[in-house]
Amino acid sequence: MPDTIFPRAGGNAPKGMSSGEMLSLINSFDWGATAVGPTRSWPETLRSTVRIMLASPVAMVMLMGEKGVLVYNDAYAVFAGLRHPQILGQEVAVAWPEIAEFNTAILKRVLAGETLSLEDQKLTLDRTGVFEDVWLDLDYSPILDDRGEPIAELVIVAETTKRVMAERALARSEERLSLALNASGIVGVWDWDLAANRVSADRRFAEMYGVNPDEAETGAPLEAYLEGIHPEDRQQVAESIAAALEARGPYRGEYRLGSADGNTKWVLATGTVVVDPSGQPVRIAGVAVDITDHKRAQEKLAESEAKFRAIADSMPQMVWSTLPNGYHDYYNARWYEFTGVPAGSTDGEGWNGMFHPEDQDRAWAAWRHSLETGEPYQIEYRLRHHSGEYRWTLGRAMPVRDPLGRIVRWFGTCTDIHETKLAAEEREIVAQELSHRIKNIFSVLNGIVSLSARTYPELKPLAETLRERISALGVAHDFVRPHSAASRPEQVGVTVQGLIETLLRPYRETGDERLSINGADASIDDRSATPIALLFHELATNSAKYGALSHRDGRVSVAMSLAEGELAIEWKESGVGVVPPEREGFGSRLIALSVEGQLSGKLTRHWESDGLRVSVRIPTRSLRRSG
């Protein structure tokens, strides 16, 4: 007997069988070098099972013997990817090493006589040179020899990855995902003998169609199965079968089934027409797949998509979305109304051409940064309006992440802020003009004080003090609200620490470590800048006259901290003994008024053995108007 699956056909594939490639590989394979031996020594049940697999369009693989030597059909070869054809004839632990423990455990159970079905089983496989997570419906059945002893395992494989991912997409706030039809679970195997008009099927297939399982095992008329199909779908099923028979080709039908509990199930049935040597159809063999869950998920996603589009199109903003790599694939109606471009013309990277030429590089850089880091996207740029003018627009986008934190989509908006932008620029010009005039007022005040000092020489010390305080107020004003970009002091943000650095700069020289500023920092505006400026001007002036800064060995440290809605500042002088004043002077009353009256804070002074320590606590809400 030759080593072939079809010995009477000389090893050739019967006419009409689509599994010519795998049949050739199986016949030419050196099975004698494996644990199962040459095909002529195989029990007939193994060869019969191989023939059934080769006739099926569904991925099937048989694991023979205790080691699970692999033989499979063309559909499984596609499933195996780059592992095919090397895994043909290999032991399962060698063929799929990444899931060796899983496969060997199942094989042991099936060879003990068990039949198993695993739904949406997650496995990590290397089929293309890269490990990927896949979800599978797996049906395991023992193959018995003439004595009824299990000698092999038959596995029917249906990949459900797309359906599982579709259901997860629905759980992630009903995201818009494009779904492709895929099997969600094997229903059963069927074989229709055309001449006898008998359809033999397994128990699960029969129960789905309302046919007696015992009758289905021996064969029931096709009409018995058609009765289980929804009345509205029977005609199209009959037409699909007739078309497949006419073309001697594959059969595919998607239709509804009724059930005893009144629920409707969706089924995808596929099969292959088998012809005799003369080319006449003799049978159709195939499987049916339950796609009910997929259909329901698809309907829900379609409903969610419709709701999303209705909401997005009713918004005044332009709404868009991209894939994780930044490819733009959706814009709402407002985008096309604003830009006037044809639908689809700005998909992908075409959107960048809508920006003003001077803004394109900046917008791209910000978008690439968000894609690389996952940080929210926000930028102002000029967008071309359908009138031809460029209008200022605020662009924002946020990433949508899956439960593992991976970005699966970006959703963004574009808001027309052209009038607001122009109005803000006009307000800024007015504000700068007002700031300039206020700065002039400080100069006028200083001039008046100087003139008064010349008229009344006895007031010269007081005039000098007033000029210094007015100058400090001017520095604070310029720090938080300069009258032009050129007049803004060099700084990083408008903060308490930046203001203190500016005010104390005249009291420290390059390399001078006698004065240090460290700790937390907080943003400020002109509401708090002037009282803080008066506070540190008085402290620094007094220290330079009587305290630590008046001595070579004296030191001053400014430490700041933020906690529980409060900014704590401590001014500490050391290295010099100071005698407390007998009474509180005007300067002391002035800084107390600044902190406690204007900032709702608290100020305490401690005269310690090595110098003065001043503790200030200011509520953070008093630092800025936004607080």
Average pLDDT over residues 554-570: 90
Q: Give the span between the Cα atoms of 107 and 120, in whole angstroms.
A: 19
Tell me the pLDDT tens digit for each residue of 417-450.
Answer: 887 777 666 665 555 555 555 566 666 666 666 6
Q: Are residues 273 and 321 in the same domain?
A: no
Q: Which residues of 293-332 are buried (b: 16+ CB within 10 A; e: fewer)?
A: bbbebbeebeebeeebeeebeeeebbbbbbeeebebebbb
Q: Give the span between the Cα atoms of 354 and 345, in whole angstroms.
A: 11
- pLDDT value at position 378? 92
Boundary of a domain, candidates 105, 138, 159: 159
DSSP-derived pairing of the beta strands 555-563 and 515-519: parallel
Q: Are residues 352 and 242 in the same domain?
A: no
Q: Are residues 141 and 205 in the same domain?
A: no
Q: Is 308 within the bounds of a domain?
A: no
Q: Which stretch of DSSP H or E encloses residue 559? A: strand 555-563
Q: Are residues 494 and 627 in the same domain?
A: yes
Q: Are residues 205 and 125 in the same domain?
A: no
More confident residue, 343 or 394: 394
Boundary of a domain, candidates 159, 180, 213: 159
- pLDDT value at position 75? 92
Q: Is 14 within the bounds of a domain?
A: yes
Q: Is 182 within the bounds of a domain?
A: no
The length of the chain is: 627
> Which residue reads 């991209």 in tokens?
322
Q: Is 436 within the bounds of a domain?
A: no
- pLDDT value at position 232? 87
Residue 254 has pLDDT above 50, yes or no: yes
Domain containing residue 53 = 7-159
Q: In the predicted model, what is the mean pLDDT of the chain?
A: 81
Q: Are residues 17 and 114 in the same domain?
A: yes
Tell me the pLDDT tens digit for each residue of 298-324.
Answer: 778 777 776 767 676 666 788 888 899
More confident residue, 585 or 492: 585
Boundary of a domain, candidates 416, 440, 461: 416
Query: What's 372's domain CATH number?
Result: 3.30.450.20
Residue 119 has pLDDT above 70, yes or no: yes
- pLDDT value at position 424? 65
Residue 287 has pLDDT above 80, yes or no: yes
Q: Are residues 284 and 403 in the same domain?
A: no
- pLDDT value at position 330? 83
Q: Are residues 20 and 112 in the same domain?
A: yes
- pLDDT value at position 59? 94
Q: Is 555 within the bounds of a domain?
A: yes
Q: Are residues 195 and 149 in the same domain?
A: no
Query: What's 563's domain CATH number?
Result: 3.30.565.10
Please name the amino acid found at residue 493: G
Q: Are residues 336 and 401 in the same domain?
A: yes
Residue 60 has pLDDT above 90, yes or no: yes
pTM of the model: 0.33
Q: Are residues 518 and 617 in the same domain?
A: yes
How wide is the angle at C-alpha 522 spanned by C-alphas 520 and 525, nearest 5°?
160
Q: Is 431 within the bounds of a domain?
A: no
Highest-confidence range of 203-212, 396-405, 514-523, by mean pLDDT? 396-405
Number of domains in the chain: 4
Q: Are residues 220 and 140 in the same domain?
A: no
Of 57-61, 368-372, 534-538, 605-609, the range with the lowest mean pLDDT is 534-538
pLDDT band at 509 (very low <50, low <70, confident <90, very high): low
- pLDDT value at position 66? 92
Residue 502 has pLDDT above 90, yes or no: no
CA distances from 557 to 433, 534, 585 (A): 37, 18, 23
What percentage of the chain carries pLDDT values higher than 90?
24
Q: Is 439 within the bounds of a domain?
A: no
Average pLDDT over residues 474-488: 52
Residue 332 has pLDDT above 90, yes or no: no
Highest-confidence range of 1-5, 374-378, 411-415, by mean pLDDT? 374-378
Tell me the pLDDT tens digit for each residue of 173-198.
Answer: 444 422 322 333 456 888 888 888 99
Strand order in the sheet with 566-574: 515-519, 555-563, 566-574, 611-619, 602-608
> Which residue reads 């007081």 in tokens?
462
Residue 68 has pLDDT above 90, yes or no: yes
Average pLDDT over residues 508-530: 77
- Cis preceding-peptide flag for 85 (omega within 30 of 0): yes
pLDDT band at 483 (very low <50, low <70, confident <90, very high): very low
Tell me the pLDDT tens digit for each residue of 134-174.
Answer: 999 999 999 998 888 999 999 999 999 988 888 887 766 44
- pLDDT value at position 472? 59
More confident residue, 466 or 608: 608
Q: Is the dihedral of CA 35, 40, 41, 46 positive or negative?
A: positive
Q: Is 520 within the bounds of a domain?
A: yes
